């Protein structure tokens, strides 16, 4: 699928090798690693850099949802799949779970629930009905990671504080 998608905020597939049941994909090198690398255990990213990362990731998702033909639901947006170059330009990576999105008058794709715990939209987990909104939820979790500097799931914290979304809900008044 990635070989058909071309956008400045998607990692480029340089080549591949197929030998029997073995597959190897070669992607462009992203020298600054992943967003997850920078959120965990390193000096905090400047706010301007965090905003740039969020905007670049949003542009990549916009391409997948609105400009790719047919549309693509990424299904695994998370900080470890947001790769960064030396200037902190974003490239979304790892399209192994991506699905062709709903086409025509369909609103969703029914599928076995896949993705990463902490990033999956609750309605997708409940129903197996995948929409572009599922990716938007995951993007929201990444935004919370950028704002708080916390992991989506942090098992070193107390039970009720392990899930970032649940923790944020408890500290933001809903009125």
Instruction: Tell me the catalytic residues.
Output: 76
What are the DSSP calls for 28-90, one per residue? ---TT-BHHHHHSSSPPPPHHHHHHHHHHHHHHHHIIIIISSS-EE-----GGGEEE-TT--E
In sequence order, what are the residues at sequence separation of 6 or more whose Cβ sits closer than 8 angstroms to the Cβ of residue 74? 61, 64, 92, 95, 97, 98, 135, 138
Rounded Cα distance, 85 and 30, in Å: 5
């Amino acid at each position: 699928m990635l070989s058909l998608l071309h956008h400045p905020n998607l990692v480029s597939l340089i080549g591949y090798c197929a030998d029997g049941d073995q597959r190897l994909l070669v992607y462009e090198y992203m020298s600054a690693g992943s967003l997850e690398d920078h959120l965990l255990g390193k000096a905090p990213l400047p706010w301007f850099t965090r905003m740039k990362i969020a905007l670049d990731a949003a542009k990549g998702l916009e391409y997948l949802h609105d400009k790719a033909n047919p549309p693509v639901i990424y299904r695994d947006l998370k900080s470890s799949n947001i790769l960064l170059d030396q200037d902190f330009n974003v490239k979304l990576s790892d399209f192994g779970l991506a699905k062709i999105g709903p086409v025509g008058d369909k609103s969703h794709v029914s599928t076995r629930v896949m993705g990463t715990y902490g990033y999956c939209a609750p309605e997708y987990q409940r129903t197996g009905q995948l929409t572009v909104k599922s990716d938007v939820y995951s993007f929201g979790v990444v935004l919370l990671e950028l704002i708080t500097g916390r992991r989506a799931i942090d098992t070193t914290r107390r039970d009720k504080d392990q899930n970032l979304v649940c923790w944020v809900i408890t500290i933001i008044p809903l009125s």
